[in-house]
Amino acid sequence: MIPVLKSERLILRRWRNEDFPAYAAFAADRERMRYLGGPREEWEAWTAFAAMSGEWSLNGYGIFAIAVKEGDQVAGYAGLWKPPYIDEPELAWGLYAGFEGNGFATEAARRVQIWAAHELRLPPLMSFVHPENLASQAVIKRLGGVPLPPTTLRGEPRLRFRHILPT
């Protein structure tokens, strides 16, 4: 069962079919996807969208849809991502156009950290970030992330950070 997590302004919840158009627009956006392998066709977006739902049954955790409490608009995603080619779950997030600059990424990621630590009893999480993705690096700093040695993920350079356990 996928939990519903709440923060001051956000609800982190399971994905719904009606969330797909917003996700597809995000996935097709060259600017939004520049650090995630580039824009995707609609069928590729559907595959990624369905995979976010499917990961819950495989790992017992996954990526949440971020809904803004005021109006239930889907603003992006945040959660844990753990494909078989990485050693531990990654704390990941992304915001759709028009939702940046409000602190939503930090608020959602912090809520996921608390859930992962207190409910799942996971150790401190880590995140991969493209070296040019300054916005995500700023979120990591606000979350108290500590740099780890850089690595390569899916053939591209990535910075790695270890997050502190939330209290």
Give, in degrees to the nearest 5, the angle at Cα 112 between 41 and 75.
Answer: 40
pLDDT tens sequence across 47-58: 999 999 999 999
First to last CA, the chain: 25
Give, in degrees to the nearest 5, the angle at Cα 60 between 153 and 1.
Answer: 140
pTM, full prediction = 0.93
Q: What is the pLDDT of residue 35?
A: 65
Amino acid at 76: G
Q: Which two tokens stand for residue 76?
A: 């992006």
Q: Does domain 5-125 have CATH number 3.40.50.150?
A: no
Contact 29, 97 (CB under 8 A): yes
pLDDT tens sequence across 56-107: 999 999 999 999 998 878 999 999 999 888 889 999 999 998 899 999 999 9
Residue for token pair 């923060």: 7
